[in-house]
Amino acid sequence: MSNTGKFRSAAIAALSVAALGLAPGDAAGAAGCGALFDDFHYTSYTDGLLSQHGWQVRSGAGGPGVGGARWAPEGITFPTSGGDKVLQLASATDGTPAGTTQTEIMQPERRFFEGTYAARIRFSDAPVSGPDGDRINQTFFTISPLRYDNDPIYSELDFSEYLPNGGWGEAGPVNFQTSWHTYTPDPWYARTRAAASAAASTAGTPS
């Protein structure tokens, strides 16, 4: 990170999930099919409708990301873009972990399984203000808890993991799509079912 403050954002225009069942092991796993659609017509991250629709805005500390940084719910906003509401996630840093904020919004219940997932996402290459250069990770994904090392029913699907300034051996910009089977955090070991990447900018283009 540099020593000058910077601000960066990404936006989601709409999210649609049509799931054929719930996560394995859930008592309601055989409840049949269902669907989620959200166009993010909310007023702010404190809007009670967010939790009614299953969303949880992350706050506090913890990984992944910059150690010592804060997950900032105030970084979640719902501006108007192109005549319609979007969900916008914004993060910032002053060059120190304590001065860094990250953003995440999730559906914490394990209620999605096989089916069709679609989202219109606009990523950002350059910060809104301040110098560029940090290795930012902008991601749309599904994930289940890792109960223990190499958990056989762990699952993570990174539909789009965009690193505008590179990372993980790539100079950037690069967009990863990865299906993770399981992993061990320390020492690091991971098994993937499929992986792909595209070394090109996707900034401003709905993904």
4-39: pLDDT as tens digits = 456 566 556 656 655 444 444 444 444 455 788 899
Across 12-26, 30-44, 105-119, 138-152, least confident range: 12-26
- The pLDDT assigned to 162 comes to 92
Q: Residue ranges of the domains in the chain?
A: 6-198
With cut-offs at 50, 70 and 90, classify the pLDDT of residue 113: confident
Asked if 119 contacts 141 with a C-beta cutoff of 8 angstroms, the reply is: no
- The pLDDT assigned to 7 comes to 59
d(CA 134, CA 8): 10
CA dihedral 150, 154, 157, 158 (to 10 degrees): -50
The continuous run of DSSP H or E covering 118 comes out as strand 115-122
- The pLDDT assigned to 11 comes to 57
**Residue 60 CB neighbour total at 10 angstroms:** 8
